[in-house]
């Protein structure tokens, strides 16, 4: 797998911590469009998670739940599964019910998709 561009991921993490969910989507979209395979699904799940919280902020509960469901489907499509992403999406689900949003799942040094064969 090619080495992903860190800048959009790091920028998205900073925006997530500020609660700027629409901007997270905007920061990740170019990387998502350029990605292929597992990296693309991983990024799409992050975008959909941000869209879920933005929809909730705007009062669109159904849209929020639908976006989270799509994000979970993208996460389940990853082989091998990514435990960070699964835990993150569970946290987003709790946030849709009123809990604080989960921390961004990627640190500055973390790859967006685990290497082949790892969990």
> Per residue in 12-46, pLDDT tens?
999 999 999 999 999 999 999 999 999 999 999 99
Q: Indicate the average pLDDT of the chain.
A: 88
**Is there a contact between 54 and 76 (Cβ–Cβ < 8 Å)?**
no
**Distance between CA atoms of 49 and 24, rounded to whole angstroms?**
10
pLDDT > 90: what percent of the chain?
80
- Mean pLDDT calculated for residue range 68-83: 94
Residue range 6-96 in CATH 1.10.3450.10? yes
Q: Residue 42 in contact with residue 113, Cβ under 8 Å? A: yes
Domains of the chain, by residue range, sit at 6-96
- Reply yes or no on whether the pLDDT at 88 is more than 80: yes
State pTM to two decimals: 0.86
């Amino acid at each position: 797998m090619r080495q992903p561009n860190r800048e959009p991921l790091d920028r998205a993490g900073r925006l997530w911590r500020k609660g700027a969910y629409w901007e997270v989507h905007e920061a990740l979209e170019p990387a998502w469009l350029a990605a292929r395979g597992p990296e693309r699904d991983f990024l799409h799940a992050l975008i959909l998670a941000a869209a879920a919280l933005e929809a909730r902020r705007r009062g669109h509960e159904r849209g929020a739940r639908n976006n989270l469901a799509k994000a979970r489907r993208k996460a389940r499509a990853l082989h091998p599964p990514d435990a960070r992403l699964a835990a993150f999406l569970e946290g987003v689900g709790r946030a849709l019910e009123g809990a604080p949003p989960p921390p961004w799942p990627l640190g500055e040094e973390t790859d967006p998709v685990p290497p082949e064969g790892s969990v």
